Chains A and B, each alone.
Chain A
Amino acid sequence: MNASAHTAPRETRGRLLERFGLLLCLLLLVLVLSLVTDRFLTVDNLTNVVRQSSINAIIAVGVMLVILTRGIDLSVGSVLAFSSVFGTTWLTQGGVPVPVAILLSVGAGVVLGLTSGALVAYLRIPPFIATLGMMTFARGAALAYTQGQPVSGLAGGYRWAGAGELLGVPVPIVLLALVYLLGYLLLEHTGPGRSIRAIGDNPEAARWSGLPVRRVQLLVYGISGGLAALAGVILAGRLNSAQPTAGVFYELDAIAAVVVGGTSFAGGKGSLSGTLIGALLIASINNGMNLLNFPADLQAIAKGAVIILALLLYRQLRRTRPGRAVRAPTPNENPEPHPS
Chain B
Amino acid sequence: MDEASAPDAPLLSLRGLEKSFPGVRALRAVDFEVRAGEIMALVGENGAGKSTLMKILNGVDRPDAGSLRWRGREGFPASPAEAQAAGISMIHQELALVPDLDVGRNLFLGREPRWGPGLVDRRRLYREAQEELDQLGLAVDARATVRDYPLAQQQMIEVAKALSLRARLLVMDEPTSSLTGREVEVLFERMRSLRSRGIALVFISHRMEEIFAIADRITIMRDGAVVSVDPAANLDADEVIRRMVGREVGDPGEGGGWPAVAADAEPLLEVEGLGRGRAFRDISFRLQPGEILGVSGLVGAGRTELAEALFGVRPAEVGRLRVQGREQRIRHPGDALRAGIALVPEDRKGQGLFLGMSVGANTVMAVLSRFLAAGLFLRHGRLRRVAEQFVERLRVRTPSVRQEVRNLSGGNQQKVVIAKWLALEPKVLILDEPTRGIDVGAKAEIYRLMRSLAAEGMGILMISSELPEILGVSTRILVLHEGRLAGSFLPAETDSDELMRAATGTRAVAAGEGAAG
Contacts and interface: CB of A to CB of B under 8 A. Distances in A.
A327 B383 contact: no
Contacts of A268: 354, 356-357
A204 B350 contact: yes
Interface residues of B, number: 43
A205 B351 contact: yes
Nearest to B345: A208
Contacts of B21: 323, 325-326
B381 A338 contact: no
Contact of A210 (B334, B351, B400, B406): B334
Interface stretch (B121-129, B365-373, B508-516): B365-373
A202 interface: yes
B380 A337 contact: yes
Interface in B306-328: 311, 313
Given A195-B368, A198-B365, A208-B345, A325 B23 contact: yes
A295 interface: no
Contacts of B313: 207-208
B356 A201 contact: yes
A191 B350 contact: no
B446 to A, nearest CB: 19
Q: How large is the interface on A (under 10, 10 to 19, 20 to 34, 35 or more residues)?
A: 35 or more
Contacts of A198: 354, 357, 361, 365
Interface string B367-403: 0110010001110110110000000000000011011
B419 interface: no
A209 B372 CA distance: 17
Contact of B406 (A192, A208, A324): A324
Contacts of A11: 22
A205 B353 contact: yes
A7 interface: yes
Output the residue of B22, B24, B383 with the most chain A CB within 10 A.
B22
B368 A322 contact: no
Interface string A314-337: 000000001111111100010001
Interface in B6-35: 21-24
B164 interface: no
A328 B399 contact: yes
Contacts of A168: none
B494 interface: no
Interface in A172-229: 185, 189-195, 197-198, 201-202, 204-212
Contact of B354 (A205, A328, A338): A205
A118 to B, nearest CB: 18
B459 interface: no
Contact of B366 (A210, A322, A323, A327): A210
A205 B399 CA distance: 24
B399 A340 contact: no
B356 A333 contact: no
A18 B334 CA distance: 37
B358 A209 contact: no
A339 B403 contact: no
Nearest to A211: B365
B293 interface: no
A39 interface: no
A329 to B, nearest CB: 4
A61 to B, nearest CB: 18
Contacts of A193: 378
A70 to B, nearest CB: 12
B352 interface: yes
Interface in B335-369: 336-337, 343, 345, 350-358, 360-361, 365-366, 368-369
Nearest to B366: A209
B252 to A, nearest CB: 26
Nearest to A267: B356
A337 B381 contact: yes
A337 to B, nearest CB: 4
Contacts of B402: 338
A169 B333 CA distance: 49
Nearest to B402: A338
Contacts of A238: none
A96 to B, nearest CB: 31
B354 to A, nearest CB: 4
Contacts of B377: 185, 189-191
Contacts of B372: 190-191
B93 interface: no
Nearest to B365: A209
Contacts of A269: 356
Given A202-B353, A327-B403, A194 B368 contact: yes
A270 to B, nearest CB: 11
B334 A339 contact: no
Interface in B435-455: none
B333 A210 contact: yes
B345 to A, nearest CB: 6
Contacts of A329: 399-400
Output the residue of B313, B333, B360, B384 with the most chain A CB within 10 A: B333
A189 B358 contact: no
Contacts of B350: 202, 204-205
A283 to B, nearest CB: 30
A205 B352 contact: yes
Nearest to B406: A324
B333 A207 contact: yes
Interface string A220-258: 000000000000000000000000000000000000000
B407 interface: yes
A202 B358 CA distance: 13
A204 B369 CA distance: 19
Contacts of A185: 377
B286 interface: no
B420 interface: yes
Contacts of A210: 333-334, 336-337, 366
A333 B24 contact: no
Contact of B380 (A197, A205, A339): A339
Contacts of A202: 350, 353-355
Contact of A337 (B22, B336, B343, B384): B384
Contacts of A326: 21-24, 399, 403, 407
Contacts of B384: 337
B365 A7 contact: no
Nearest to B409: A326
B378 A194 contact: yes
A329 B406 CA distance: 16
A324 B334 contact: no
A123 to B, nearest CB: 17
A256 to B, nearest CB: 23
A326 B358 CA distance: 13
Interface of A: 7, 11, 185, 189-195, 197-198, 201-202, 204-212, 268-269, 322-329, 333, 337-340
Given A201-B356, A333-B400, 6 more contacts: A7-B23, A189-B377, A194-B378, A210-B333, A326-B407, A340-B357
Interface of B: 21-24, 311, 313, 332-334, 336-337, 343, 345, 350-358, 360-361, 365-366, 368-369, 372, 376-378, 380-381, 383-384, 399-400, 402-403, 406-407, 420
29 contacts: A7-B23, A11-B22, A190-B378, A191-B369, A191-B377, A193-B378, A194-B368, A198-B361, A204-B350, A204-B351, A205-B353, A206-B354, A208-B343, A208-B345, A208-B352, A209-B365, A209-B420, A210-B337, A211-B368, A323-B22, A326-B24, A326-B407, A327-B22, A327-B399, A337-B380, A337-B381, A337-B384, A338-B360, A338-B402
Which 7 pairs from chain A and chain B are nearest by CB?
A337-B380, A329-B399, A201-B354, A328-B23, A325-B22, A210-B337, A337-B384
